[in-house]
Amino acid sequence: MKTATNADGRIEVSDLVVRYGDATAVDGVSFTVARGEHVTLLGPSGCGKTTTLRAIAGLETPSGGSIRIGGQAVYSAAERRNVPAEKRGISMVFQSYAVWPHMSVFDNVAYGLRVRKTPRAEIAAQVDRALGLVQMRNFADRSASLLSGGQQQRVALARAIAFSPSVLLFDEPLSNLDAKLRAEMRVELRELQRRLDITSVYVTHDQEEALAISDRVIVMHVGGIEQIGSPEDIYHRPKTRFVADFVGSANLIGGKVSATGNGEINFGVAGGLTLRAWASHPPRGDEATVAVRTALIGLTVKGAEKATDGADMDTGNAVPGTIRTRLFCGDFIQYVVDWAAGQLIVRRPPTDLFAEGAEVTASFTPEHCVLLEG
C-alpha cells in the first residue's frame, strides 16, 4: 500500500466548490492551515463546514477548485486529479465515533497500522501508546460494543492518532457527549493536540468549543467564509452581523456614522445619542450597525457613576436605561435594559444585583463597540 508522504501536513484549500445536484453546499471556499496548526470550521448546520472537511478527507467529490496536502494536490479540478481517501495519508474522527462494534478496542485502534502492514511488535507498541494518550489502556481487550459514549469517543481518537498521521480531521467529535464530559474532553483535546504537533481541522457548531480549542477559527455561513481569525479576533472584532450574532452574544445597534477619525468614529443612534465606536475598516455609506458584546457592558445605578468601577466616563459610552427583566442564570445574570434606541441585553456576574425597574447607566468602551461591514 502506497501512502502519500504528506510529512509537513500543510493544507491549502482554494476555490473549493461542492455541489449536490442543483444545490451548492460549498461555494468557492479558500483557506490554508499551517503545519501543526489547529483550525476550526465554525458555523450553523447546513453552512458547508462538514462538506468542506469531508472533501479534504476525500469522502466527498468536489465540483471545482483544489485541495493540497503537504504541497501535493489531492484534488484538483484543473488537473483532473482526485486521490481516494485511503491514499491521502490523513486521519479522521467521526461525529458518530464510527467505532466498529464487531472488534475489540485493540483491533479498532490497530486497524490503520495493520492496513499499513506494520510489524506486529510495533503495532502493539503504537496501540499501547495511543490508548495511553486517551487513558484507555485498561480497555484494550474489551469489545467495542460494550463501551460508553465517552469511552467510544476516546477509542475513536486513539484509532485516529495511532498510525501517526500528519493531518487529523475532526467532524463534530464532541457533539454526542453530555455537557460536562464535553467540557472535560475539550481540555484533553487541546492538550493532546499540543503534545502531538499534528495539523488539524476541526468542525463544530459550538462557538464556545471553537474558541476554546483553536489557533484560528473560520466562521462559515451558507457555503462561504464569513471571517477568519484568532479566537480573540473573532470574539472582539466580528466583521459581519452574522459573526457577531453567532459567536458569543452581542447587541446589534443600528445607526448613522457621523464623524470618522483614526479607528474611532462617532455613531448616531435613535434617541439623539451619539456613541463612540471602533472601525477596523473605512465605513461604507451612512447607515451601519455596531455590535456590543453582552458581557462587556457595565451597569451602575444612576447617579452613582463615580462611586463604582472607575470606568472613564469621558472617553467611553454611558447611556441611561431602565432594567426591564432580570434572569438569574447561575454563572451570570442576564438583564434586559430599555434605553433610547431599544433594548440592550447585558450579562453581569452573579454578584451585580439590580432590581427590576431600577434606573441604571450602561457603559462600554469604544473598542468594544465594533462597526460591522454591511
The least CB distance from residue 257 to other proteins, in Å, is: 32
Q: Which is nearer to other proteins, 87 or 120 (CB)?
A: 87
DSSP code per residue over 303-329? T-GGGSTT--TTTSEEEEEEEEEEEE-
| Cβ contact 241:343 at 8 Å | no
| Polymer length of the chain | 374
User: Which triple of cell numbers denotes residue 331?
Assistant: 454563572
- Residue ranges in contact with other proteins by CB under 8 A: 1, 3, 15, 17, 27-28, 57-59, 61, 63-65, 77-87, 89-92, 94-96, 98, 100-102, 111-112, 115-116, 143, 145, 159, 163, 169
Residue 358 C-alpha from the chain's centroid: 37
DSSP 191-258: HHHHHHT-EEEEEES-HHHHHHH-SEEEEEETTEEEEEE-HHHHHHS--SHHHHHHSS-EEEEEEEEE
| Residue nearer to other proteins on the CB measure, 27 or 245 | 27
- Please report which helix (H) or strand (E) contains residue 32, including its range: strand 23-33
Q: What gap in Å lies between CA 277 and CA 291, rounded to an integer?
A: 9
Is the CB of 155 or the CB of 243 nearer to other proteins? 155
Smallest separation, CB 131 to other proteins (Å): 16
Give the nearest distance from C-beta 109 to other proteins in angstroms: 10
State in angstroms the smallest separation of the CB of 7 from other proteins.
Answer: 16
- Provide the minimum distance between the beta carbon of 80 and other proteins in the complex, in angstroms, as a whole number: 5
Please identify, using beta-carbon distances, which residue of 86 and 359 lies nearer to other proteins.
Answer: 86
Q: How far is CA 148 from the centre of its chain?
A: 26
Judged by beta carbon, residue 81 or residue 120, the one nearer other proteins is: 81
Nearer to other proteins, 33 or 90 (CB): 90
Q: How far is the CB of 78 from other proteins (least distance, A)?
A: 6
When the beta carbons of 51 and 300 are compared against other proteins, the nearer one is 51
Q: Which letter does DSSP use for residue 78 in this model?
A: T
**CA dist., res. 163 & res. 90, Å (int):** 10
Nearest distance from C-beta of residue 2 to other proteins, angstroms: 10
